Amino acid sequence: MAEVNGQPGVDDDGNGYIDDFNGWNFLGTQESLGMEFTREYYRMKKEGVSESDPYFVKVKEAYLDEKSEIMFMKVGINTSLDELNKAETVLKEKNFPTDPEKLQKISNTLTGKYEEAASMILNTYFMYGVKKDEMLDLKKEYDTKAKYLTDTTSTYLLVGDNPNLFVDKSYGNNKPNTGSMDHATHVAGIIAAGVNTIGQCPYAKIMSIRCVPDEGDERDKDIANGIYYAVDNGASIINMSAGKYFSPKADLVLEAMKYAEDKGVLFVNSAGNDGADIETKISYPKKFTMENGQMKFFSNMIVVGASTWMTEWSKEKDPEDLAGHFDLAASFSNYSDKIVDVFAPGVEINSCYPNPKYKHESGTSMASPEVAGIAANLKAFFPNLTAAQMKEIISSSVRTYPGLQVKVKGKNSKVPFASLSRSGGVVDMMNAFKRAFETAQN
């Protein structure tokens, strides 16, 4: 309240951040950053690190793989767009529709070059699952990826910090709504929307902290400072869906997460979207520390995988194949019976979008705020619950599916759904409240 009622340009509440009415933006005017492996690759080349160094080999491999994928996608998208433009020109000669859905209804009546043009548009639509305007968005996305694949220097110039100095915590600005707000708005709506679409906890207060870019990898320094900011400014729950596979300053983030644990702040983190076992493919921020060769998990952290609305896929339940023939576990969701705590709905979740509108999105980024919203409800009705208690309540009250076998990316046969997380189930708010009542009475 000191900032809201204070003087513009003055740090009225003395927290080190001027006019931070709505939160803080640790990225300044920067909307996108390079990939972490790009920053590491060029850093090590500049420092003369041996190309036979194991870490250098790993980083270089990731860099070249990403470069190859981006170039492959750019060529494919540009070629398809050229062919689509030609096909549309042909169809417009006779005023035939070019929208795939309308075209599909008349395609069997077309002949000659018009039939060929229609086939081109429909084949592209079914191959990529997008229309031309959406493919133009894909082109823009991969052009941006290509640009930031080699970007190693611009970040600190726009953010206004020394990237190697951690103590300068007040860099950035007080405008957390900089850049694309699509993802952030959708996530916030899942937690706290109160109009037209109801969030899990409509009366929750959102503290907006921008430390993850629209494109590229977040910097460890920004993530750590974002956590400290949230904790020091009164957050009870932190929801985050950052993730990458290289983290040169991982210790900074782990220290910040330990700080949140010591202060009793619940940390809800998405498992990631690579359809991988994250026990064998470690992602950052790490969900655990190592002590005497053993994993030690944070008592205040819940790691969330994404589930669909079906225990078993069928055409009747999913006529548009939005789940890609996958069952209860979403096709993209990471999993681990040691690291992922719970699953939560994360496929085709309807929530708020800027401009304003509503949109269905999928990802563990949608599953994580489902859990954060449940936690917010628990905290509202049972304010004395600790972060560790909320984690235990949410994890122990999941809905389980004994004997259920599900499809998992990269595996030839189905596996037990119970083997994909520590709890073996999907969150259930009603069960969580029952468990919370039991805890409060003891």
Name, in order, each residue with C-beta under 8 angstroms of 275's C-beta and a sequence gap of 6 or more: 331, 332, 333, 334, 408, 409, 410
Tokens 């900032």 sit on residue: 3
**Distance in angstroms (rounded) separating the CA atoms of residues 51 and 64:** 14
**Token pair for 270:** 């998405």
Most confident of 46-50, 117-121, 257-261, 355-359: 257-261
Residue 158 sits at φ, ψ, to 5 deg, of -95, -30
**Distance in angstroms (rounded) separating the CA atoms of residues 408 and 412:** 8
Domain 23-32+160-441 has CATH 3.40.50.200: yes
Task: Identify the pLDDT of residue 156.
Answer: 43
What Rg, from alpha-carbon coordinates, does the chain have? Answer: 24
Between 291 and 192, residue with greater pLDDT: 192
- Domain ranges (residues) in the chain: 23-32+160-441, 39-149
Q: What percent of the chain has pLDDT over 70?
A: 92
Average pLDDT on 352-362 reads 88
Classify burial at 203, counting beta carbons within 10 Å of its beta carbon; exposed 0-12, middle 13-18, buried 19 or more: exposed
- In this predicted model, what pLDDT tens digit does every residue of 394-405 receive, in sequence order? 999 999 999 999
Classify burial at 85, counting beta carbons within 10 Å of its beta carbon; exposed 0-12, middle 13-18, buried 19 or more: exposed
Q: pTM higher than 0.85, yes or no?
A: no
**Token pair for 347:** 């496929």
Task: Identify the pLDDT of residue 173.
Answer: 81
Peptide bond just before 402 cis, omega within 30 deg: no
- In this predicted model, what pLDDT tens digit does every residue of 147-171 receive, in sequence order? 777 665 544 445 556 666 666 677 8
Peptide bond just before 356 cis, omega within 30 deg: yes
Look at 11-15, 41-45, 241-245, 416-420 and tell me which has the smallest mean pLDDT: 11-15
How many CA atoms, within 13 angstroms, populate the side-chain half-sphere of residue 437? 5
